[in-house]
Structure 1
Amino acid sequence: MAVSALEVLGLGGLVALWLAWRVLEWGWLRPRRLGRALRAQGLRGTAYRFPSGDLKEDTRLLAAARTKPLPLQSHDIVARVEPLVHSSVSAHGKLSIIWFGPTPRVILNDPTLVREVLSSSKFREYRKTELPSNVINLIGKGLASHEGEKWAVHRKIIRPAFHLDKLKEMLPALIACTTELMSRWEDSMTGSSDNTREIDVWPELQDLTGDAISRAAFGSSLSEGRRIFRIQSEQFHLLTHMTNIYIPGYTYLPTKLNRRIKANALEVEALLKGIITKRERAMKDGHADDGDLLGLIMQSNMKESQETGSSQPMMTMDDIIGELKLFYFAGMDTTSVLLTWTMIVLSMHPEWQHRARDEVLRVFGNKQPDHDGVNHLKVVTMVLYEVLRLYPPVTLVERETHKEMELGGIRYPPGVKLLLPIITIHHDPELWGEDVHEFRPERFAEGISKASKDAPAFFPFGGGPRICIGQTFALLEAKIALSMILQRFSFQLSPSYTHAPFPVSTLQPEHGAQIILKKIY
């Protein structure tokens, strides 16, 4: 039957009306409903501005913050690092509303509420926010983004790889990587009359943790692992150029940036598939290698599949690839920024550098660190915790309501995002005392539970069942590397160093970490 031009026009008009309604609902009506529901319960905050909310203001505040480095010795960093969150909390209170696009973000600047959102009884009710496709291409779709049963299965399969006995087996790889870095630094001092050298330790420590991840994850495929690290390093750099402009579907546009991120992701996936395929063949031939992370995950995956009677592996090849990409991102970036800020802060506070070095030399002497000795590093542990408090690698964590939820006397409609501001909680004088912006590792002398008034108020690795599965690995790597650095070098800030912490994928030194190293033996 022929369709008349009038009918075609009529159908087109209906489609246009439907699209117009969807845009109106998405960008105007729904935000207004959510805003009214929250304000009716006493929450205050910024007013919604169509269509980008507070993104323009956030961009302006961040740009202004970048023009003003902090004074040396200053650890009062919140206003520079998260200026929109800081201004909202200051103006509207610890529970306040900001807008990223047409979605309200409610800032929960209260550790009690943060613990409840992250707790075992509630974590399934508050889902993680879906990441943009180009971020998924970068970090991989793994534990950090999975929900429900898939998250539970993956966590169960991956957990054995991070058991203490398995981490002990990774120590030689961590020591070997750090030894190579120390030798490189010492060689760079050849010809120096006073055995000193200025080095930007930020890229050096990125290389260290990337190499450590390569060895820990792919011990028997190290060359491919290092190639993956180089690509992922470029991906991290590209992440710094991602736009803050709120454009729905932006990540799918064929921009030069998005094309490069996608091409890198495809190359990493091809390399990982090659490594996994070789490992699968070796396992079938009875030559299984479970001495690295990949081998441990594949063995655990096979065991779980057998125990559940599944004819197919519980984790597919794509699943394993996603978890390994995530391990690269989380393991490399988090540990490298922790070590970098630790060296910066210990340069600012030489008395603590001396105390940490004395402890390391008392425990290890000039010998290589070992796991038993690491457990006796009380001062080093206190230092790392205080650095994580002042400079948390991840400054904000986000969750989303998918049904109406009651939290702290407020009923949150579905579709509201809850912002857990780790950095403002870590810098709250009501929780940590009036010396909150001072570097005082002794506040952790009796452990995390007694360090703050409302304990725990310390979330550098998240919390609850979804707490970072690699936190023990990250802290072990940091303790090993810091111990070996303290054994061989003293260090101080270079006059060229600019104190400018800034959030990218993690909290990073915007202009590098120029430090003067001095060989001490």
Structure 2
Amino acid sequence: MEIMDFQLISKLILNIFLLMFIFCSIRIFYSVWWKPKSLEKYFRRIGVAGSSYRLFSGDLKEAKKLMSEAAAKPMTLSHDIVPRVQPYWDRMVREHGKISGSWHGTTAQVVVADAAIIRQILNARDGSFQKVPRNPLVKLLTLGVSTLEGRRWETRRKLVSPAFHHDKLLGMIPTFLTSCSNLVERLTNKIEGSSGNLELDIAPEMHRLASDIIARAAFGVSFEEAETIFKLQKEQAALVLDAASTVYFPGSRFLPTKRNRRMYEIDRAIKAKLRDMILEKERKIGNGEMGGDEDLLSLLLKSQKQSGNDMTIDDVMEECKLFYFAGQETTANWLMWTMIVLSMHPQWQEKAREEVLHVFGKKIPDVKTLNQLKIVSMILQEVLRLYPSVPITVRHTHEAIKIRDKIIPPGVNLVLPTLLLHHNPVYWGEDAEEFKPDRFAEGVSKAGKDHDELAFYPFGWGPRICLGQNFAVMEAKLALTMILQNFVFELSPSYTHAPRAVLTLQPQYGAPLILRKL
């Protein structure tokens, strides 16, 4: 009897395991083959051409191969950078059209290189287009307001927005000027120690400037006090890029790989530094040493303590991580590319300098007069067109969405290639690859070939447009003005023109320039 009971139990357990195996096998087969192939057939049926699905990896291997081939050789001093920076998306659009399909692992992607449709997607307010669901390793970089959706996003954006109001920005001007003055003094000392001509990689200097501004304006500390966080965030960004370019399998974040261990170590170290900073800020607010809303961190802490607010200290830290990374990286790259481009076009550098000296002379810039710098503004906009800090944006369909005459099902990534749009002759004319700041002479809305079709999205668009846009513009204007007031610069003979996308648009071999004191 006992033997029979044991046999029955064994058979039951075996049957359960067999059913579980069959169920899991069906789920896996559906996820990695049936669903992607069904979507591929659907796309063809509605007229979306593109690549064929490959098991597990999709187009990741092909995209990596094209990127490696492009990165293997530099380019001439040209602004025709799309084939080098985004070779895969460039080929997709050229071969399959403005709306075409591809695969990120098992996830379907539709690249949309049409300005009107991109505007429709970015303008949507009903939650139909959302941020792409990210694997847990990618989330370690930042989980701030830019990653939230729905009610949580609305609430958080309302809490953070006041930090970027015009009156707050005006209050930050002394901080901006302090950081810019420190840059000028630092570069001047280096030039005086090098017999008048200084050759240096300007990229680290621009990153230090942007970092110093962020540290002071957003958190009330100096660059030196926040330097560790910046370095850790930079390392984390490189690891996140690696994680994002590989297929993620559920649970793989728990594997004790070298990359996983380092990513979690960095996350703990950054949070420990931020926690110390938060405790010190709370102490100062509690002791009446500051008003409580003098910088971004103070404002967040004040909001966090309001009744009816579900914001936690962890949420505050994520907003800090977001602002540290996004605010520093994008503006630093913008200024760096501006100096590179003005070195490639010295006639425009001289025009900008003449304007700056006419308006301000050698005096510290007055923010109220900053709007008189028309040429400087045109140059900064044209650099953003040719070298946008964030060359691509991705959205995710939360439900079935109609785009023109095509119904895109839920669960599809929509790739919006800002860089391709900014270089497209359809929107900018046959001289789209040329540096022509005067195309922005009448403002952004009239800059393109067709004034009715805006194709300029360096800060995004619609309800989720970058919160820090005005902060970045004011910072870039002031910094470029003071650089032009004090220095003349040109490309170093060692400069190699090789833009590439590493989360943001960066020079592969650095940005060595030769500087002289004016």
Asked if TM exceeds 0.5, the reply is yes
- Alpha-carbon distance, 1:87 to partner: 0.4
Partner of 2:31: 26
- Alpha-carbon distance, 1:70 to partner: 1.2
Partner of 1:131: 134
Q: Is the CA contact (8 Å cut-off) linking 1:382 and 1:444 kept in structure 2?
A: yes
Which whole-Å CA distance do the structure 2 matches of 1:35 and 1:437 have between them? 34
Partner of 2:457: 459
Which whole-Å CA distance do the structure 1 matches of 2:371 and 2:399 have between them? 44
Which of 90, 95, 107 aligns to 1:91? It is 95
- Alpha-carbon distance, 1:341 to partner: 0.6
Against the structure 1 CA distance between its residues 69 and 325, is the aligned structure 2 distance closer, same or farther, given a 3 Å change threshold? Answer: same
Which whole-Å CA distance do the structure 2 matches of 1:368 and 1:202 have between them? 24
Which whole-Å CA distance do the structure 2 matches of 1:507 and 1:497 have between them? 17
Which whole-Å CA distance do the structure 1 matches of 2:197 and 2:174 have between them? 28
Partner of 1:226: 227
Q: Deviations over 1:215-252 (max 9, x none)?
A: 11221576543332232233234446547332424544
Which of 364, 368, 387 aligns to 1:372? It is 368
Which whole-Å CA distance do the structure 2 matches of 1:234 and 1:178 have between them? 26
Partner of 1:262: 264
Which whole-Å CA distance do the structure 2 matches of 1:262 and 1:89 have between them? 38
Partner of 2:210: 209
* Structure 1 gaps, min length 5: none
> SS in structure 2 opposite 1:107?
strand
> SS in structure 2 opposite 1:197?
strand
Against the structure 1 CA distance between its residues 494 and 251, is the aligned structure 2 distance closer, same or farther, given a 3 Å change threshold? Answer: farther
Aligned AA (1:445): A
TM-score, normalisation: structure 1: 0.94
Q: Is the CA contact (8 Å cut-off) linking 1:160 and 1:300 kept in structure 2?
A: no
Q: How do 1:395-434 residues align onto structure 2 when only pairs under 5 Å count? A: 395-434=391-430
- Alpha-carbon distance, 1:271 to partner: 1.8
Q: How do 1:99-248 residues align onto structure 2 when only pairs under 5 Å count? A: 99-122=103-126, 124-138=127-141, 140-193=142-195, 195-220=196-221, 224-239=225-240, 241-242=242-243, 244-248=245-249
> SS in structure 2 opposite 1:392?
coil
Which of 346, 350, 355 aligns to 1:350? It is 346
Against the structure 1 CA distance between its residues 146 and 18, is the aligned structure 2 distance closer, same or farther, given a 3 Å change threshold? Answer: same
Which whole-Å CA distance do the structure 2 matches of 1:134 and 1:279 have between them? 30
- Alpha-carbon distance, 1:360 to partner: 1.2
CA RMSD for the aligned pairs?
A: 1.8
Aligned AA (1:151): W
Which of 495, 498, 512 aligns to 2:496? It is 498
Q: Is the CA contact (8 Å cut-off) linking 2:39 and 2:108 kept in structure 1?
A: yes
Greater alpha carbon shift after TM alignment, 364-373 vs 343-352: 364-373
Aligned AA (1:189): I
State, as a whole percentage, how many aligned pairs show the same letter.
Answer: 45
> SS in structure 1 opposite 2:280?
helix
Q: Is the CA contact (8 Å cut-off) linking 2:138 and 2:243 kept in structure 1?
A: no
Aligned AA (1:370): D
Which whole-Å CA distance do the structure 2 matches of 1:240 and 1:411 have between them? 31
Partner of 2:67: 62
Q: Is the CA contact (8 Å cut-off) linking 1:133 and 1:252 kept in structure 2?
A: no
Aligned AA (2:485): Q
Which whole-Å CA distance do the structure 2 matches of 1:218 and 1:121 have between them? 31
Which whole-Å CA distance do the structure 1 matches of 2:509 and 2:406 have between them? 42
Q: How do 1:475-490 residues align onto structure 2 when only pairs under 5 Å count? A: 475-490=473-488
Q: Deviations over 1:426-468 (max 9, x none)?
A: 1110100000000001111111111111432100011100000
Which whole-Å CA distance do the structure 2 matches of 1:32 and 1:227 have between them? 47
Q: Deviations over 1:5-29 (max 9, x none)?
A: 2222211111211211111111001
Which whole-Å CA distance do the structure 2 matches of 1:492 and 1:5 have between them? 79
Partner of 1:296: 299
- Alpha-carbon distance, 1:182 to partner: 1.8
Partner of 2:512: 514
Q: Deviations over 1:7-55 (max 9, x none)?
A: 2221111121121111111100111121222211111111111111111
- Alpha-carbon distance, 1:150 to partner: 0.5
Which of 13, 27, 33 aligns to 2:18? It is 13
Aligned AA (1:94): K
- Pairing 1:46–2:44 present: no
Q: Is the CA contact (8 Å cut-off) linking 2:83 and 2:90 kept in structure 1?
A: yes
* Structure 2 gaps, min length 5: none
Q: How do 1:306-345 residues align onto structure 2 when only pairs under 5 Å count? A: 306=307, 310=308, 313-345=309-341
Greater alpha carbon shift after TM alignment, 391-400 vs 174-183: 174-183
> SS in structure 2 opposite 1:4?
helix
> SS in structure 1 opposite 2:130?
strand
Q: Deviations over 1:347-397 (max 9, x none)?
A: 000111011111111222111123212222211111111111111111111
Aligned AA (1:202): A
> SS in structure 2 opposite 1:419?
strand
Greater alpha carbon shift after TM alignment, 360-369 vs 1-10: 1-10
Which whole-Å CA distance do the structure 2 matches of 1:443 and 1:301 have between them? 45
Against the structure 1 CA distance between its residues 395 and 384, is the aligned structure 2 distance closer, same or farther, given a 3 Å change threshold? Answer: same
Aligned AA (2:400): E
Count matched residues. 509
